[in-house]
Chains A and B, each alone.
Chain A
């Protein structure tokens, strides 16, 4: 079936503007994760959703970052008042059940000018 879909694939924004990034997980996958990948660095956990449980927001770097998910479908990651240090690739991943692997989208490359 279709993989994890992210949009837009690229986003250039001016410092101080808000941006919304979208993730469509694989159908039937109950868990959804957001990661940030800065150039030359590892994956940094941001937030995790599992069904109707309260999300694990422990990785969000500041209150400018927020995310929502409707049921077991689409998620949006919102960054308010963007800063240059927010420039990175934002990756979304989903998985079917506990202990199963994450399946990633191709990410949104965010550039803040």
Chain B
């Protein structure tokens, strides 16, 4: 069965303390892996798309990487405004265009 697992469930960091969030997947093939940020009371906001192993994308303090089995979202020198829930999703072929979402990592950055 296709699955997407995110870890840790929750993460507390001091401002400036770099860390990584993990998204592992067990799917038959991969059309794309997507990272989103979700703030309380808001819909998920798109961050990155990764399509193949070895690919990397960067935006400000965030960097997403992809291997054949997992993706990492690296956060460098985080700030309090980076506090949010980070979701990953995968799209696989032959599934009728469905996206499978993980349950997210809740990140809190303490000033």
Chain A positions within 8 Å of B, measured between CB atoms, are 4, 31, 33, 35, 41-43, 45, 48, 50, 56, 58, 91, 93, 98-107
Most buried by A among B31, B44, B97: B44
Q: Contacts A58-B96, A104-B43, A107-B43 known; A99 to B104 CB distance under 8 Å?
A: no
Let me know if B34 and A48 touch, CB within 8 A: no
Whole-angstrom CA separation of A4 from B44 in the bound complex? 11
CB of A57 to closest CB in B, whole Å: 11
Q: Contacts A42-B104, A102-B34 known; A91 to B87 CB distance under 8 Å?
A: no
Name the A residues within 8 Å of B101 (CB-CB): 35, 42-43
**Chain B, Cβ-Cβ closest to A102:** B99
Let me know if A98 and B103 touch, CB within 8 A: no
**Chain B, Cβ-Cβ closest to A48:** B97
Most buried by A among B42, B98, B99: B99
Q: Contacts A48-B97, A56-B97, A99-B91 known; A42 to B103 CB distance under 8 Å?
A: yes
CB of A55 to closest CB in B, whole Å: 10
Name the A residues within 8 Å of B42 (CB-CB): 106-107
Q: Which of B31, B96, B102 contacts A99 (CB 8 A)?
A: B31
Name the A residues within 8 Å of B71 (CB-CB): none
Let me know if B43 and A98 touch, CB within 8 A: no
Let me know if B41 and A106 touch, CB within 8 A: yes
Whole-angstrom CA separation of A42 from B45 in the bound complex? 15
